Amino acid sequence: MSDSTVFFGPVSAEEINRTQIPPGQMSSHLGIELVETGSDYMVARMPVDHRTIQRIGILNGGASLALAETLGSIAASYCVDRDLYYIVGQEINANHIRPVRSGFVYATATPIHLGRTSQVWNITIRNEEGKLTCISRFTVAVLKKEL
């Protein structure tokens, strides 16, 4: 088994939840939390409740995009030396496949391209039964910090 990873240094769900999903920001307001990290993926979940549904009682597409962009941004930021670089979103798109009325949705982010100045991430969102509910592609710019 290989110890190789796309992430720059060690990464854990506990550390990410503590440092990257601060109270008072949108991700915490929506109940987003990281639940798993692997060598080339991250998984987060979000409740489907009064914070994330639209008026007809199904998951709001904007909430799905917020989940996808939150997870994609966090994953992308761990693929660079965060002392030297930072990540900004450039483009996100989504196809909403199936409605969700309750429970949790689970997003999995995997890299498609990890370049020096840009990254592209695939984010799939599934319901608790594992059925695909949304698929998103997220592109970020990798920018050098002014030191």
CB 32 within 8 A of CB 47: no
Classify the phi-psi angles of 56: left when phi > 0, otherwise alpha if psi is within -120 to 50, otherwise beta. Answer: alpha
38 has which bridge partners? none
Q: How far apart are CA 21 and CA 33, in angstroms?
A: 7
CB 113 within 8 A of CB 86: no
Residues 6+ apart with CB under 8 A from 126: 105, 106, 108, 132, 133
Backbone angles phi, psi at 69, to 5 degrees: -70, -35
The total number of residues shown for the chain amounts to 147
Active-site residue identified among 14, 15, 69, 146: 69
Active site residue 33: no
Q: How far apart are CA 138 and CA 111, in angstroms?
A: 10
Active site residues: 69
